[in-house]
Structure 1
Amino acid sequence: GVSHVLTLALQELSLLCKRDVNGVGTLYDLLRSRWLQALLKIYECLQHYLRKRPDPVTLQARALSREVVELLHQAPQSGEIKELRRLLRSPHFKALLSAHDTVAQKDFEPTLPPLPDNIPENEEAMRIVCLVKNNQPLGATIKRHEITGDITVARVIHGGLADRSGLLYAGDKLVEVNGVPVEGLEPEQVINILALSQGTIMFKLIPVSDRPVSNQTTLYVRAMADYWPLQDPAIPCADAGLPFKRGEILQIVDQNDALWWQARKVSDLSACAGLIPSNHLLKRKQREFWWCQPFQPHLCLKSSMFACMPDVFSSTVPLPHPAGFRRSMRLCRRKARLNQQSCYSRCPSSCYSTLAAPYEEVVRYQRHPTDRHRLIILVGPAGVGVNELRRRLITSNPQEFQSATPHTTRVQKSYEMNGREYHYISKETFENMVYSHRMLEYGEYKGYLYGTSIDAVRTVLDAGKICVIDLEPQGIQIARTHELKPYIIFIKPPSIGCMRQTRKNARIITDYYVNMKFKEEDLQEMEESAKKMEAQFGQFFDHVIVNDNLQEASAQLLSAVHRAQDEPQWVPAVWICSDNQP
Structure 2
Amino acid sequence: MHFLPFSPQREMRGSITFKIVPSYRSQSMSCEIYVRAQFEYDPAKDDLIPCKEAGIRFRVGDIIQIISKDDHNWWQGKLENTKNGTAGVWHVIAMEKTKQEQQASCTWFGKKKKQYKDKYLAKHNAVFDQLDLVTYEEVVKLPSFKRKTLVCLVSAHGVGRRHIKNTLITKHPDRFAYPIPHTTRPPKKDEENGKNYYFVSHDQMMQDISNNDYLEYGSHEDAMYGTRLETIRQIHAQGMISILDVEPQALKILRTAEFAPYVVFIAAPTITPGMTEDDSLQRLQKESEMLQRTYAHYFDQTIINNEIDDTIRLLEEAVDLVSTTPQWVPVSWVY
The interval holding the TM-score normalised by the smaller chain is: 0.7 to 0.9
Correspondence for 2:117:
none
Correspondence for 1:232:
46
Correspondence for 1:358:
135
Residues 287, 185 of structure 1: CA spacing in aligned structure 2 closer, same or farther, 3 A cutoff?
A: farther
1:530 and 1:288 map into 2 onto residues whose CA distance is 20
1:551 and 1:252 map into 2 onto residues whose CA distance is 40
Q: How many residue pairs get matched?
A: 310
CA contact (8 A) 1:283 1:357 kept: no
What's the offset of the Cα at 1:235? 2.9
Correspondence for 1:191:
none
2:98 and 2:90 map into 1 onto residues whose CA distance is 14
Correspondence for 1:557:
315
**Cα deviation digits, residues 272-329 of structure 1 (max 9, x gap):** 1110245xx46666788869xxxxxxxxxxxx955xxxxxxxxxxxxxxxxxxxxxxx
What's the offset of the Cα at 1:220? 1.2
Find out whether 1:465 has 2:240 as its counterpart. Answer: yes
2:149 and 2:317 map into 1 onto residues whose CA distance is 14
Find out whether 1:245 has 2:59 as its counterpart. Answer: yes
Residues 467, 574 of structure 1: CA spacing in aligned structure 2 closer, same or farther, 3 A cutoff?
A: same
RMSD: 2.9
Which of these two proteins has the greater Rg computed from alpha carbons? 1
What secondary structure, in the 3-state scheme, does the structure 1 residue paired with 2:309 have?
helix
Q: In structure 2, which of residues 126, 129, 132 is the aligned counterpart of residue 343 of structure 1?
A: 126
Residues 224, 378 of structure 1: CA spacing in aligned structure 2 closer, same or farther, 3 A cutoff?
A: same
1:495 and 1:287 map into 2 onto residues whose CA distance is 26
**Cα deviation digits, residues 163-208 of structure 1 (max 9, x gap):** xxxxxxxxxxxxxx4xxx714379xxxxxxxxxxxxxxx9836636
2:137 and 2:280 map into 1 onto residues whose CA distance is 35
2:274 and 2:241 map into 1 onto residues whose CA distance is 30
Q: In structure 1, which of residues 520, 524, 541 is the aligned counterpart of residue 278 of structure 2?
A: 520
CA contact (8 A) 1:409 1:426 kept: yes
CA contact (8 A) 1:374 1:564 kept: no
CA contact (8 A) 1:409 1:450 kept: yes
**Cα deviation digits, residues 105-129 of structure 1 (max 9, x gap):** xxxxxxxxxxxxxxxxxxxxxxxxx
- Where do 1:420-569 residues align within 5 Å? 420-497=195-272, 500=275, 520-569=278-327
Bigger RCO (CA 8 Å, 6+ sep): 2
TM-score by length of 2: 0.82
What secondary structure, in the 3-state scheme, does the structure 2 residue paired with 1:363 have?
strand
Which has the larger displacement, 259-268 or 471-480? Answer: 259-268
Correspondence for 1:267:
81
Aligned-partner residue type, residue 60 of structure 2? R
Aligned-partner residue type, residue 382 of structure 1? H
1:213 and 1:282 map into 2 onto residues whose CA distance is 29
Residues 534, 290 of structure 1: CA spacing in aligned structure 2 closer, same or farther, 3 A cutoff?
A: closer
Aligned-partner residue type, residue 225 of structure 1? F
Aligned-partner residue type, residue 482 of structure 1? A
What secondary structure, in the 3-state scheme, does the structure 1 residue paired with 2:231 have?
helix
1:228 and 1:450 map into 2 onto residues whose CA distance is 44
- Where do 1:99-248 residues align within 5 Å? 177=1, 182-184=3-5, 204=18, 207=21, 210-211=24-25, 213-248=27-62
What's the offset of the Cα at 1:267? 2.4
Residues 344, 248 of structure 1: CA spacing in aligned structure 2 closer, same or farther, 3 A cutoff?
A: farther
Correspondence for 1:406:
181
CA contact (8 A) 2:179 2:242 kept: yes
Query: 5+ unaligned residues in a row in structure 2: which ranges?
Result: 8-15, 104-120
Correspondence for 1:298:
none
What secondary structure, in the 3-state scheme, does the structure 1 residue paired with 2:264 have?
strand
1:427 and 1:490 map into 2 onto residues whose CA distance is 33
What secondary structure, in the 3-state scheme, does the structure 1 residue paired with 2:323 have?
helix
Provide the identity percentage: 31
Aligned-partner residue type, residue 497 of structure 1? T
Aligned-partner residue type, residue 200 of structure 2? I
More helix by share: 1
Query: 5+ unaligned residues in a row in structure 1: which ranges?
Result: 1-176, 187-201, 292-303, 307-340, 502-518, 578-582
2:169 and 2:242 map into 1 onto residues whose CA distance is 9
Residues 491, 285 of structure 1: CA spacing in aligned structure 2 closer, same or farther, 3 A cutoff?
A: closer
Residues 289, 234 of structure 1: CA spacing in aligned structure 2 closer, same or farther, 3 A cutoff?
A: farther
Residues 220, 209 of structure 1: CA spacing in aligned structure 2 closer, same or farther, 3 A cutoff?
A: closer
CA contact (8 A) 2:41 2:95 kept: no
Residues 390, 447 of structure 1: CA spacing in aligned structure 2 closer, same or farther, 3 A cutoff?
A: same
CA contact (8 A) 2:39 2:95 kept: no
CA contact (8 A) 1:223 1:246 kept: yes
CA contact (8 A) 2:182 2:225 kept: yes
Residues 499, 443 of structure 1: CA spacing in aligned structure 2 closer, same or farther, 3 A cutoff?
A: farther
CA contact (8 A) 1:379 1:471 kept: yes
Residues 217, 550 of structure 1: CA spacing in aligned structure 2 closer, same or farther, 3 A cutoff?
A: same
Residues 205, 357 of structure 1: CA spacing in aligned structure 2 closer, same or farther, 3 A cutoff?
A: farther
1:215 and 1:227 map into 2 onto residues whose CA distance is 27
**Cα deviation digits, residues 226-249 of structure 1 (max 9, x gap):** 222233333343321112222221
Aligned-partner residue type, residue 69 of structure 2? Q
Aligned-partner residue type, residue 34 of structure 2? Y
What secondary structure, in the 3-state scheme, does the structure 2 residue paired with 1:204 have?
coil
